[in-house]
Amino acid sequence: METIFETVRTIALRIDTLIKEGDLGYSNHANATGDTQLKLDVASDRIIEEELRKLESIHTLISEEKDDPMPIHAGGEYTLCYDPLDGSSIVDVNLSVGSIFGIYRGEPRGENIVATAYTIYGPRIEMVTALRGETPHRTRYVGGTWQPLPDLSLNPQGKLVAPGGTQQYWSPEHKAYIDSLFGAGYRLRYSGGMAPDLHQILVKGGGLFAYPGTTDKPEGKLRQLFEVIPYALVFEAAGGQAINNRGERLLDLIPRHPHDTTPCFFGSTTEIDGLKSAYGVAP
């Protein structure tokens, strides 16, 4: 697993350079979920594939930017599912973005994820690695080396809310719950980049990130294999919860298709239990 994490560090430095020096324009292609690909999306995807193909331990690659899985080493143990540049559409306004890697042993589904690595490209490069059930480790790249920062740990209750999705399409119960948090003094923290928005809640010790099902997107927007399940591992490992709109653990999801999405909620126990009550599902 450390070889994979070391390769992600190499990838992070290459993509950070790409972001700072690359072309921010759009390509003339769309990915499997219909997002028009930025040249940065395509270039980041290419870098990741080039680096990960070197690892004999990887059986299959599945990228958010590619329609189909890519078998690479028949004797490999892991399936790597990744979002090469999550939130790429906010690079042009110079906000932080990230890369997300879910490492699965065998078939890619919630119960088989064994580790997550994600990187944040912001004022500095950071990387978080988490093995299932073990405290997530946070590092930053400074002066040519990766230096440790305090591990990630969620308090039972936080102060931040990241409310995704188009509000006019929220369900009444979802809107009532989000309003209740703001009524209780929670602070709005939402950039439109899942990786930095979730990272903020993890680093600040708690709160709620919500991307619900909406009338325009009943199955939500965020992808199970590349985004949702990897962060569910991190949030549970940090002492929080990660569920869908039925109150089911996101780590129990079994995607029917590699690009399946799901409503998803990540956060501290208090906020997630409150959401379960608001949705009428068992806490």
Length of the chain: 283
Q: Please count the residues of this chain forming the interface with ligand P6P, following the rule CB under 6 A.
A: 9
- Give yes or no for a contact between 120 and 167, defined as CB atoms under 8 angstroms apart: no
221 lies in the binding site for ligand P6P (CB under 6 A): yes
Gap between the terminal Cα atoms of the chain: 34
CA distances from 258 to 31, 55, 65, 79, 243 (A): 12, 22, 11, 12, 19
164 lies in the binding site for ligand P6P (CB under 6 A): yes
Choose, by CB under 6 A, the member of 40, 45, 87, 228 that binds ligand P6P: 87
Nearer to ligand P6P, 64 or 78 (CB): 64
From 68-76, 86-94, 130-138, 248-256, span contacting ligand P6P (CB under 6 A)? 86-94
- Give me the least distance between CB of 173 and ligand P6P, in Å please: 19
Task: Look at the block and give the residue holding tokens 């298709």.
Answer: 257
User: Which residues face 131 on adjacent strands?
Assistant: 115
194 lies in the binding site for ligand P6P (CB under 6 A): yes
- Give me the least distance between CB of 89 and ligand P6P, in Å please: 6
102 lies in the binding site for ligand P6P (CB under 6 A): no
The residue whose Cβ lies closest to ligand P6P is: 194
| Token pair belonging to 114 | 């064994």
Nearer to ligand P6P, 35 or 111 (CB): 35
CA distance 227 to 208: 16
- Give me the least distance between CB of 76 and ligand P6P, in Å please: 28
H or E, element range at 11: helix 2-21
Farthest-apart Cα atoms in the chain, separation:
54
Contacts with ligand P6P, residue ranges (CB under 6 A): 86-87, 89, 164-165, 192-194, 221
